[in-house]
Structure 1
Amino acid sequence: MEYIRFAVEDGIATLTLDFPARRNALSIPMRGEIAEVIRRVRADDNVRALILTGAGTEFCSGGDISSMQTEMTAPQGRRRLQQAHGWLEDLIQLDVPVIAAVDGAAYGAGFSLALTADIILATPRARFGLPFLRMGLIPDCGVFYTLPRIVGVQRAKALMFSMKELSAEEAQDLGIVMEIVPQESLAERAQALARAFTEASPVAVGLTKQALNASLNQDLHTMLAMEADGQGITFSTEYRMEAANRFMAKQPLRYRWPD
């Protein structure tokens, strides 16, 4: 692959945006490579977590402006984005946890990409922004779905209309960033969180993600039904029986959240 790096080691998949000439911008070729990686992750039952990060000093500067200099009809612009929607939806709906490790800029579609993650880690120099209106465009790459669910509709409007740049601390205050870690510790912390999930029940983790993703779109009755169905499935797993036996024998349980 030319614009990203991808590796799987000990159940942890790492997707690194690597396009330094454009500050890791989401070029059209890069989007195709990301789509291929997401297909691989979905098909690999041995993957227990996915880390998203950027090479160098930036996470992702957004869309590749150099590819937007030609005239484009409305149908062409629509198709351009629809090509990304397939893998974006698959990424959000992955059964395995997704951890975004953000250093430097996460602008535009880069901010949107970070928001597809279940957990966002950031360094003190991370910056987040949605400057789409400056280019006469609307925010994209799933941000109309992800951002209001974290910060609420009013704050999402304010961030999109104002195009305000958020520091790591401001993003944490809004609930966007879960942890701020030193730059030199970012990769290590992301790996530690991902490694914890290699000892968790993949069935329970996947069902938990599915329920949470559906929760804001469903009524109480539907969510209680999902809860009952999901718990029925997890009760039937070998992992659950092993955990119960370990607990009764006063042995350490396998899954623990790293401090």
Structure 2
Amino acid sequence: MEYEVEGSTATLTLDNPDNRNAINQALIDGIADGLERASADEAVRSIVLTHTGTVFCAGADLKEQSATVQGKDRPANAAVANSVIRGLLTCPKPVIAAVHGHVRAGGMGFVAGCDFVVAGPKASFGLTEVRIGVVAAMIAPAVLARIGDRTAADWLLRARTISPAEAAAAGFVTQAVTEADGSVDAAVEEILSDLRKAAPAALAASKEIANWRVLESMDDHEAEMIELSAKFFAGAEAQAGMKAFLNKRTPPWVVER
């Protein structure tokens, strides 16, 4: 994780491209530390969350997850990962996700926690959990608060790839930038320019209002979803699915017709 401040903007960069910026303890700690530093710095007015490599975040680090003994630590792990989403939502500074690449599974929760999402033409999105035998329970309250019920069923059950344009139409992405539009960075700068004109305390309070429904959904369902996530990660389907994924094989439940 890299942290840099330029002018009134703090940039947090997910910087483990060899691991596809997968969610592990180091990444969780890095985001939490960056948000804390930016929140405490009065000179910082806005935060940009971006990444190196072709993947914004691939979701859980399956090597780390599969190594957890008997699933006994998974409720705690899920709660810690979920704290990142809550941290993004409750941080007093607006957070802009600058997405140049792919977002999958748990990474969708991080994007849902941001106040603005700008996605470039090479970005894509997907809730792929069911294909490895788990459920997107941990991130569901935040993600589903951003999209409608029909869209939720489509994305959760089919686990298909979602384009930036479709994600924007669903309300998950603020702006989908095409090749003809210009760059993601230019679109992010336009948002930052508007935010620089806002009074800091009023901006923080307005962010609370904007995220009220998302946080309410998390408060209502977080404990239940963490337990559900832990249950499935410790289950037989998940063990078979993660093993198949790590060995680049087809999971045993796939049928042709």
Q: TM-score range by the shorter chain?
A: 0.7 to 0.9
Write the mapping of 1:168-187 to structure 2, written as runs, cut at 5 A.
Answer: 168-182=164-178, 185-187=183-185
Alignment correspondent of 2:155: 159
Distance 1:210 1:177 in 2: 19
CA RMSD of aligned residues (A): 2.0
Separation in 2, partners of 1:112, 1:215? 15
The question of 1:94 aligning with 2:97 is answered no
**Equivalences for 1:52-67 in 2 at 5 Å?**
52-67=49-64
Aligned length: 214
Deviation at 1:71, TM superposition (A): 4.9
Aligned to 1:75: 72
Q: Which residue pairs with 1:107 in the alignment? A: 104
- 1:116-143 deviations in whole A, cap 9, x for unaligned? 11111111221100111222222155x3
- TM-score in terms of structure 2 length: 0.76
Post-superposition CA distance 1:201-228 (Å, at most 9, x none): 111111111122225788xxxxxxxxxx
Whole-angstrom distance in 2 between the partners of 1:96 and 1:15: 13
- Could you list the runs of 5+ residues in structure 1 that have no partner in the other structure? 219-259
What's the CA shift for 1:45? 2.2
8 Å Cα contact 1:12/1:195 also seen in 2: no
Deviation at 1:34, TM superposition (A): 1.3
1:9 aligns with 2:6: yes
Give the structure-1-normalised TM-score: 0.76
Contact 2:50 2:98 in 1 (8 A): yes
Structure 1 residues 139 and 96: alpha-carbon distance in aligned structure 2, compared to 1, 3 A threshold: same
* Shift in CA distance, 152/83, structure 1 to aligned 2, threshold 3 Å: same
**Whole-angstrom distance in 2 between the partners of 1:120 and 1:101:** 6
**1:200 equivalent in structure 2:** 198
- Tell me how far apart the structure 2 counterparts of residues 179 and 206 of structure 1 sit (CA, whole Å): 22
Alpha-carbon shift at residue 180 of structure 1 (Å): 1.8
Match of 1:214 in 2: 212
Cα offset, 1:195, TM superposition: 3.3
CA, structure 1 residues 156+70, in 2 after alignment: closer, same or farther (shift >3 Å)? Answer: same
Percent identical among aligned pairs is: 28
2:128 is aligned, of 106, 131, 138, to 131
Instruction: State yes or no: 1:149 paired with 2:126.
Output: no
Unaligned runs of 5+ in 2: 217-257
Moved more, 36-45 or 9-18: 36-45
